[in-house]
Amino acid sequence: MYQPLADELRPTTLDDVYGQEEILGEGRMLRRMIESGRVPNLIFYGPSGTGKTTVANIIAAATQRTLYKLNATTASTADIREIVSQLDTFMAPNGVLLYLDEIQSFNKKQQQSLLEHIENGKITLIASTTENPYFYIFNAILSRCTVFEFKPITPAAAEKAVRRAVDYLAKKEQLEVTAEPGALEHIASSCGGDIRKALNAVEALFLVARTGDTSLHIRLEDAKAVTQRSAMRYDREGDNHYDCLSALMKSIRGSDPDAAIHYLARFLEVGDLPACCRRLLCSAAEDIGLAYPQAISIVKACVDSALQLGMPEARLPLADAVLVLATAPKSNSGVLAIDAALADVRHGKTGVIPRELQNVHADSAGQEREQGYLYPHNFPNHWVPQQYLPDLLKGTVYYHYGDNKVEQAARHYWDAIKGGSDGNSGR
């Protein structure tokens, strides 16, 4: 029966696990727990192919407990009951070690069905998830577990795994294997920190070797062919999607054009135009704002062009938009102003609209009243002192001019006209 290379070479000791030195290195917490033989309930959080299942297998062997594996995407509460029924029997004399993959797919009721048994110690739970456990796992489970984060495997660690796999297959297939410079390194760096992807690429290269040959030369061109687009980790509904959106917007806000264009490239590579377009439109108003008001119209034009063009041409206007935003002066004065005003409105601080601003056409026939509104265009510089805020909020200041050239020019303009009479001078 066919056995994938990644499973065939799965490490059986902690020393053979690639990467994860922060939690599995000598003297590190998780390693000490495993070596003690008394393992608590655990949650392994991290991308696929980083060793979560492997470490669970090693723990089962070290603790001499019966290992059951369930995948929450296909398992049900009935599967949990079946495991519970074997507790305190010869099938599980030392209790059960339950490895529950993708636990975020279990609903609250399914997760709660485990509580009693993980609390009394008859079931030791090792749950794994590729999503943030603090968002997807219920507190009752979290409070009974210790969370360890598995990081993507570094290219250096992945290269060790690739070379081991090549040596293993060369011996198994009785082939003399050579590799073009950079070929194995490319596989290691293109796997996106996923050892399973790297080993799958190595296996694919051996599978296409011509039968009857006694040697195999791994070419860089072939290595690129089997790893194309494999480095991308992306899920439109998962944490990585929102991490990329956050990184794009924060890089723009931080005025780092190189980082911003990098995160844009991630969205373009997976073809997710709507998500990045929406972020760019938001950033133009939120982070650049009044420091460069034209940015909003520029970005809108770029976004419209990109959505009409589609890929690959869409990359051109979107790259321009990102670079305009990342290199533009920044101001969040508009954000602060509207948020302060919304806070007052939500707390009931509104008051009656001044009579001068009310719609006189809404007065009932025969009950018309003098309005007293002063039409600014009838006065010099198109401005006249007049109360616009309700009496309850009279004198409230929401908008403070930013320290950029555009807003300071507006401040000086109005200071000259108003003479600082509205209390907004110098802000």
The domain covering 20-149 belongs, at the CATH homologous superfamily level, to P-loop containing nucleotide triphosphate hydrolases (3.40.50.300)
Domain range 155-227, its CATH number among 3.40.50.720, 3.40.630.30, 1.10.8.60, 1.10.760.10: 1.10.8.60
Q: Would you state the pLDDT for residue 423?
A: 40
pLDDT above 80 for 81: yes
Q: Would you state the pLDDT for residue 219?
A: 87
Residue with the bigger pLDDT between 360 and 46: it is: 46
Cα radius of gyration (the chain): 31
Q: Would you state the pLDDT for residue 229?
A: 58
pLDDT above 60 for 103: yes
For the structural domain made of 346-418, what CATH number should be given? 1.10.3710.10
pLDDT above 60 for 399: yes
Cα–Cα distance measured from residue 221 to residue 183, given in angstroms and rounded to the nearest whole number: 8
Q: Would you state the pLDDT for residue 425?
A: 41
pTM of the predicted model as reported, rounded to 2 decimal places: 0.59
Of 191-205, 311-325, 336-350, where does mean pLDDT reach its minimum?
A: 191-205
Architecture of domain 239-327: Up-down Bundle (1.20)
Q: Would you state the pLDDT for residue 426?
A: 42
Q: Would you state the pLDDT for residue 363?
A: 54
pLDDT above 80 for 361: no
Percentage of residues of the chain with pLDDT beyond 90 = 32
pLDDT above 60 for 236: no
pLDDT above 80 for 263: yes
Per-residue confidence band for 362, with pLDDT thresholds at 50, 70 and 90: low
Task: Give the start-to-end residue ranges of the domains of the chain.
Answer: 20-149, 155-227, 239-327, 346-418
